[in-house]
Amino acid sequence: MKGVTTVKKFLTVLTAIVLLGLIACEGPAGPAGKDGAKGADGAKGLDAGFVYFEGFKADIKCASCHNPDTDTTFYKAAATFQWAASKHANGGTAFESGASCAECHTTEGFVQKMNGMTVTQKTNASPVGCFACHSPHKNGDFQLRKSTAVTLFSNFTGVADYTFDYGKGNLCAQCHRPRTQTVKLDPSKSTATNDTIKITSTRWYSHYGVQSQMLMGKGGYEWANQTNVVSSSFHTTSTSIKADGCTICHMTTAQGDYSGGHSMKLESEEEGQNTNGCKVSGCHATTLTSLDYKSAMTITHKNLDTLKVLLATAGWIDTVANGTKAVTITPSNKAGAIWNYFLVEHDLSSGIHNTAYANSLLRNSIAKMRGQF
């Protein structure tokens, strides 16, 4: 046994000597090999429906924004107070927090969308607020999340989608735009007499956020032999509005606490009309003290009411639920009157966004329902 132990010790020492020799004799390192394949990206931000954590810009100081005495740049406290009076804060749509709706009805969903994440269903979601439009902690300021052009669905067979490019208003159009419909009208059949269209949805319309396409003067149904020329108002082509979009009117200089600014209101019970946005260069007179937009709104409401009666009498819309009925319409192009009615009605500006366009669509729809062309 003693001999065996001696042999083991000898082999151990010999092995160590050989290894040291190999290490000592190691030559210079060869050239580095090629990089391996890129691994899969890790999860972005927080999963399970939480909003993406966007971090903090270096050297950011909380009191720059969170103390009214020192915030003389962004006036966050005032903006928050104005926002509290807005429809974004009180519109009552944050409950639409399912995966298909949360991207526009909740702050959490919109942030997911803007960060390229899959929008998930939200629990205890918040209405569209500061962090929907801005990422102040990450950026250190209140620049907009996005201002690139937006694609608007045409919803008509054979008609290409539209491009909305109105400066800062492009962020608004991320949500204030139409959704898609599976049952579509075909403008090439606007004079057909025998084809049909079958409407099965109670929500057969562009959706409620149609302000972008109304401002553009796009998205309404037109007939080849219609009686009224369809045109757009000055708002559509104004260089000032093209540069700043929705904000030039809706986020104009605050008149007080309840209009302009982040309230986005042009009129309030407390402060009356806010026409500051109307008086910018290139728009209405700089000396304007009041604007009689009520007359234009009255005309639009009259046309809407007339068309509503015609559509209800035909049995095509439900005036209580304010939606469409399951109907088959012959010829199919007459359904364009339904489409135009809800486009103007859901715009919610009573024609102000594009008075000429809204009312030409309504007048042609009324004439079509009355068999005048």
Separation between Cα atoms, residue 367 and residue 348, nearest integer Å: 23
pLDDT at 347 over 60: yes
Domain shared by 186 and 238, yes or no: yes
Separation between Cα atoms, residue 246 and residue 83, nearest integer Å: 16
Q: pLDDT (tens digit, 9 = 90+) per residue, 214-242?
A: 999 999 999 999 999 999 999 999 999 99
Is residue 111 domain-resident? yes
Domain shared by 92 and 198, yes or no: no
Domain shared by 221 and 259, yes or no: yes
Q: What percent of the chain has pLDDT over 70?
A: 86
Domain shared by 280 and 343, yes or no: yes
Q: pLDDT (tens digit, 9 = 90+) per residue, 89-100?
A: 998 788 899 999
Is residue 156 domain-resident? yes
Which pLDDT score, from 0 to 100, does residue 19 have?
47
Query: Exposed, middle or buried: residue 135 (CB in 10 Å: 0-12, 13-18, 19+)?
Result: buried
Average pLDDT, the chain: 88
The upper half-sphere exposure of residue 143, i.e. CA atoms within 13 Å in the direction of its Cβ, equals: 7
Look at 245 and 281; give whichever has higher pLDDT.
245
Is residue 294 domain-resident? yes
The domain of 121 spans: 63-135
Domain shared by 180 and 292, yes or no: yes
Is residue 53 domain-resident? no
Domain shared by 114 and 215, yes or no: no
Q: What percent of the chain has pLDDT over 90?
A: 72
Domain shared by 211 and 359, yes or no: yes
Which pLDDT score, from 0 to 100, does residue 233 have?
96
Last residue of a domain, one of 104, 135, 166: 135
Domain shared by 89 and 173, yes or no: no
Is residue 334 domain-resident? yes
Is residue 19 domain-resident? no
Angle at 359 between CA 154 and CA 285, to 5 degrees: 105
Domain shared by 219 and 355, yes or no: yes
Which pLDDT score, from 0 to 100, does residue 49 have?
44
Structure tokens at 79: 């903006």
Torsion from C-alpha of 252, 257, 262, 266, nearest 10 degrees? -50
pLDDT at 47 over 50: no
Is residue 117 domain-resident? yes
Is residue 325 domain-resident? yes
Look at 335 and 267; give whichever has higher pLDDT.
335
Which pLDDT score, from 0 to 100, does residue 156 have?
98
Domain shared by 67 and 183, yes or no: no
Backbone angles phi, psi at 310, to 5 degrees: -65, -40
Mean pLDDT within 15-34:
57
Query: How many structural domains are present in the chain?
Result: 2
Domain shared by 250 and 167, yes or no: yes
